[in-house]
Amino acid sequence: MSNGQLQTLLTPTPEEGFKLAVKLAQKGVEVTQPSEEIRGMLRPVYSTDADSLISVSQVIAIYFQTVAFANNYWIL
């Protein structure tokens, strides 16, 4: 993603696919709360709350499913 724009779902490696999934999860939050300042204030809350962290991990998992499928699971 350049300038926050999603260009492609293809990534050269699973690791980069995972990173893309993380970015997509964040992007979903950003569209709903565009203020970087407010998101910054919320970060200490959810990043120290176990249940919030688990929920974030779940959103990443759903995006990773999409990204992994798009990349045919990086199987050559």
**Interface contacts to a second copy, rule CB under 8 A:** 5-10, 13-15, 17-18, 22, 24-29, 31-33, 38, 42, 45-66, 68-70, 73-75
Query: If residue 52 lies in a helix (H) or strand (E), which one and from where to where?
Result: helix 50-70
Cα(56)–Cα(41) distance, rounded to whole angstroms?
Answer: 17
Sign, Cα dihedral of 63, 68, 69, 71: positive
Cβ 36 to a second copy shortest distance, Å: 13
